[in-house]
């Protein structure tokens, strides 16, 4: 769509004249319809409509259209939204085991055939994860997949050399937020390595070292919790009442 393109979506009680009112409003504001779809739910008595249109001479702005369409919407009790057609819409794709549709959507989105930003792909099977990884996740250098650990399902995070410093930094901050008590131990040397006489830095190496540190510290914390010496019941009572060592009484 052009820069002056818009998308109008609406629903309202089904009654004669809705399409005429919408198309007449657009004509009166110097707009031409690019695509129009509508659906009538007879059981619910509800009418649905989606219209893509363009302002022929760019005289109608988003503010003008929204303000003046309010009169039409009130007349027909509409629930409606007017969107900028030039802005990519964030979408969620849900898929099972048939990959031809997912592959088509990913291809068209990647090459500009669809004006969308794919936020996520959700599936009840991991069979098609390679499609999303190849066209999207691999651009970030981070790939999450389902694997097996001693026969049990396990999440596998693969980090390759294409991970950007921005994504690496975001992931590091996320991990350190899970370890608030250990932030004083944070080291800037994660990812540094010696290359002859020079010290170089690798974001994939830093993330790998940080993940290993995170899991080791979590396991260490779990072991301490499991094998911590029990506190006697009467000691807990004394401490709770302030009668432990160092307390004062009048």
Q: What is the mean pLDDT of residues 155-169?
A: 71
Predicted pLDDT at 161: 65
Half-sphere exposure of 103 (CA within 13 A, CB side): 8
Mean per-residue pLDDT of the chain: 76
Question: Is the entire prediction scored with pTM above 0.75?
Answer: no
Q: What is the mean pLDDT of residues 173-189?
A: 69
Which residues have a Cβ under 8 Å from the Cβ of 1 and sit 6 or more positions away?
34, 52, 54, 85, 86, 115
Predicted pLDDT at 22: 97
Would you list the domain boundaries of the chain? 5-84, 89-159, 180-227
Half-sphere exposure of 125 (CA within 13 A, CB side): 8
Max mean pLDDT among 86-100, 143-157, 183-197 falls in 86-100
Q: What is the mean pLDDT of residues 19-27?
A: 96
**Helix/strand/coil for 197:** coil
| Dihedral sign computed on CA atoms, order 70, 72, 74, 79 | negative
Quote the distance between the C-alpha of residue 152 and its chain's center.
27
Architecture of the domain defined by 5-84: 2-Layer Sandwich (3.30)
Backbone angles phi, psi at 236, to 5 degrees: -65, -40
């Amino acid at each position: 769509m052009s820069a002056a393109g818009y998308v109008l979506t609406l629903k309202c009680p089904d009654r004669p004249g809705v399409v005429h009112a919408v198309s007449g409003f657009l004509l009166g504001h110097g707009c031409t319809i690019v695509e129009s779809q509508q659906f009538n739910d007879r059981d619910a008595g509800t009418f649905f409509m989606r219209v893509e249109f363009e302002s022929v001479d760019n005289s109608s702005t988003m503010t003008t259209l929204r303000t003046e369409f309010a009169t039409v919407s009130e007349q027909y009790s509409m629930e409606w939204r007017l969107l900028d057609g030039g802005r990519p819409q964030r979408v969620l794709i849900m898929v099972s085991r048939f990959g031809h549709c997912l592959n088509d959507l990913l291809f068209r989105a990647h090459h500009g055939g669809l004006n969308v930003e794919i936020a996520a792909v959700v599936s009840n099977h991991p069979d098609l994860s390679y499609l999303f990884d190849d066209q999207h996740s691999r651009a970030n250098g981070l790939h999450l997949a389902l694997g097996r650990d001693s026969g049990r399902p396990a999440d596998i995070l693969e980090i390759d050399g294409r991970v950007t410093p921005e994504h690496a930094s975001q992931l590091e901050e996320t991990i350190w937020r899970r370890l608030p008590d250990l932030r004083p131990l944070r080291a800037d040397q994660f990812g540094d390595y010696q290359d002859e006489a020079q010290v170089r830095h690798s974001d994939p190496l830093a993330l790998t070292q940080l993940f290993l540190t995170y899991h080791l510290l979590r396991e260490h914390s779990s072991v301490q919790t499991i094998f911590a010496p029990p506190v006697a019941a009467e000691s807990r009572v004394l401490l709770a009442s302030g009668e432990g060592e160092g307390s004062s009484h009048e």
